[in-house]
Amino acid sequence: MTLNESRPLAVVTGASSGIGYELAKVFAENGFDLILAAEDDRLEEVQRELSRVATVDSVQVDLASEEGVEELYHYIHTATRPVEALALTAGVGAGDEPRRQGEIEKELDLIDLNVRATVHLCSLVVNDMVRRNRGKILFTSATLAAAMPITYQVIYEASKSFLRSFADAVRTELRGTAISVTTINDGDDPVAVARESFAALMADREEVAPV
């Protein structure tokens, strides 16, 4: 572990693409060192890119599995300093095709990544934050998907609704501590969403509206 102990540490899941990737860039540009997580090989490319401006470690894991979450947390736990910010942006979307018979495994994988992995990793890291009474947590929801059923995306929208509810509950439970919880409501521009989300996280705002 080669992280610079003089800089705050952020963990970003889903960091190889989309909002996770853009958030990782913003964290690095604003003085954070990083532990990045994603399943695909592009993670190595992202690590090399961001290592030009920050100290970056990466863990290539399948967070849809319990073993993947535990492996990432073990890596986090061996860092030379605690996590200042946890950005839970790993997730999978849904297509616009009708649900087909026999796709239950695909839908369960979506639940495992969007819901179970988020709850599992959050619970592990929050326990550490509570012990030192410090930290920031960023959840990824979606305004429309979390509010109402969407044709052909019923599992996806249910996962986003769960995440909004879970984030609200975690925020309530942590009231009175120095740990803040911010929820992203995604928009059309990942770059703008990431920058607004980072600003909201640093300001301890509860929610980021779509950009």
* Mean pLDDT value across residues 59-67: 97
The residues, any chain, with a CB within 8 Å of residue 55's CB and separated by 6 or more, are: 2, 3, 4, 7, 33, 34
Q: Report the alpha-carbon distance of residue 33 to residue 53 in Å, rounded.
A: 9
pLDDT tens for 151-198 read 567 888 889 889 999 999 999 999 999 999 999 987 789 999 999 999
* Average pLDDT across the chain, whole number: 89
pLDDT tens for 133-143 read 999 999 998 65
Domains of the chain with bracketed CATH: 9-208 (3.40.50.720)
Amino acid code (one letter) for 200: A
